[in-house]
Amino acid sequence: MSKKYQTPLLDELKKGAFPSFVTEIEKAAEHSDMAADLLGLVELSYKERMTHWKHGGIVGVRGYGGGVIGRYSDIPEKFPGVAHFHTVRINSPSGFFYTSDAIRQVCDIWDKYGSGLTNMHGSTGDLVLLGTKTEHLESIFAEFSSRGWDLGGSGSAMRTPSCCVGKARCEWANIDTMAITNDITQHFQDEMHRPAFPYKFKFKTAGCAVDCIASIARADMSIIGTWKGDIQIDQAEVKNYKGKIDIQAEVIGMCPTGCMKMSGDQLVIDNSNCSRCMHCLARMPKALRPGKERGATLLMGSKAPIVTGALMSWVIVPFIKMEPPYEEFYELIGKIWEWWDENGKNRERIGELIERVGFPRFLKDLDIKPHPAMVKEPRRDPFFFWSEEDIVR
């Protein structure tokens, strides 16, 4: 097929060693008018240095309030193929594992109804199908859902939860991140598909403090695997690392709490002073393994800077067992959402709400006992509140 538009600027992005998104759009344009018109539209953006997409309109599938992002070009007369160019968010399986057959199934449906372009994956973790028309949405949903797939979250709802690879392929997984993610997703189908929150709510689950899913930076609820008890040491393997790495400089010398030393040939760890940062385990994976009592630390509130500055999640539950049926966890989530619903403003993330009304009030209202693990340091000022029961009348 000859090119529909000349795209001299985008052609510059087919050069160079790294795989090119322009080449991908061109491949799709071989069999999709939508993708062909996308090339023309994006070329114009490159020329004018500005986007040509309008705000999303409200589109979706029957019975759901999310999962589809409406997208329209602001110059449909020039590029009719992308007059509608809606995104469909397909809820990805935990850990982004697929089979060849599953990938082919997705491709077959998408080639039939959409542009042939995808994102593997969107930032939140959805399998993103990029570009279709309003009239195809019900068909797409029927084709996917009848084959066992469902839509992900969008808008003021629980967003598609995501996780690191966890126990599937990592020796540091203190919790079963993929099972937890799948369970949360199934548990809260209504909260995901029918937006009823003040704003979005994201769960991300990491198996350890290395946090390969970046939960601490971008999840309203960050579930980070950890342990209690002593780090398990294989002293023979410690010996094997001698000569391969400089244990004194690279492991002991970089321990943030200074809780390790060599005693002769033996590595000694003062576990009562270990903060479980994972550095030593990451440097000597054959010799060191997490302690035996496994669970998670729950942290809350992270978000990007829009609007009053970025937040990182902070500790609200220092240690919780994360094992099915996760009763304690779900009870806490229920309480948190109820409190957010009662107190949150429109478009206010849970972290912003806690910041606005005060962390102590959150703890009091939810009846969570304060713990030094929740703060970096205690307050510096003398302006604290008391309750009636603290006062002698």
Which of 248/366 has CB closer to other proteins? Answer: 248
The least distance separating other proteins from the CB of residue 388, rounded to whole angstroms, comes to 33
What interhelical angle do 137-145 and 100-113 show, nearest 10?
160
Residue 347: closest CA among 155, 122, 70, 188: 155
Helix (H) or strand (E) holding 226: strand 221-228
Q: Both ends of the chain: CA-CA distance in Å?
A: 88
Min CB(365)–other proteins separation in Å: 24
What is the nearest approach in angstroms of other proteins to the Cβ of residue 387? 29
CB 5 within 8 A of CB 81: no
Cβ proximity to other proteins: between 133 and 335 the closer is 133
Smallest separation (angstroms) from other proteins to the CB of 243: 16
Residue with the two structure tokens 């393997």: 237
Cβ(170)–Cβ(221) below 8 Å? no
Candidates 290, 281, 173, 282; CA nearest to 229 is 290
Question: What is the distance between the alpha carbons of residues 358 and 142, in angstroms, rounded to a whole number?
Answer: 46
Q: Contact 38/81 with Cβ under 8 angstroms?
A: yes
**Minimum CB–partner distance for residue 389 and other proteins (Å):** 34
- If the CB atoms of residues 27 and 364 are measured against other proteins, the closer one turns out to be 27
Helix axes 350-357, 327-343, angle to 10 degrees: 70
Count of other CB atoms within 10 angstroms of residue 49: 6
Nearer to other proteins, 122 or 337 (CB): 122
Name which of 142 and 366 has its Cβ closer to other proteins.
Answer: 142
Q: Which is nearer to other proteins, 309 or 366 (CB)?
A: 309
Q: Please report how close the Cβ of residue 391 comes to other proteins at its closest, in angstroms.
A: 33
| Shortest reach from residue 107's CB to other proteins, in Å | 4
User: Which residue has 């690392």 as its token pair?
Assistant: 241
Closer residue to other proteins in complex, CB, 125/332: 125
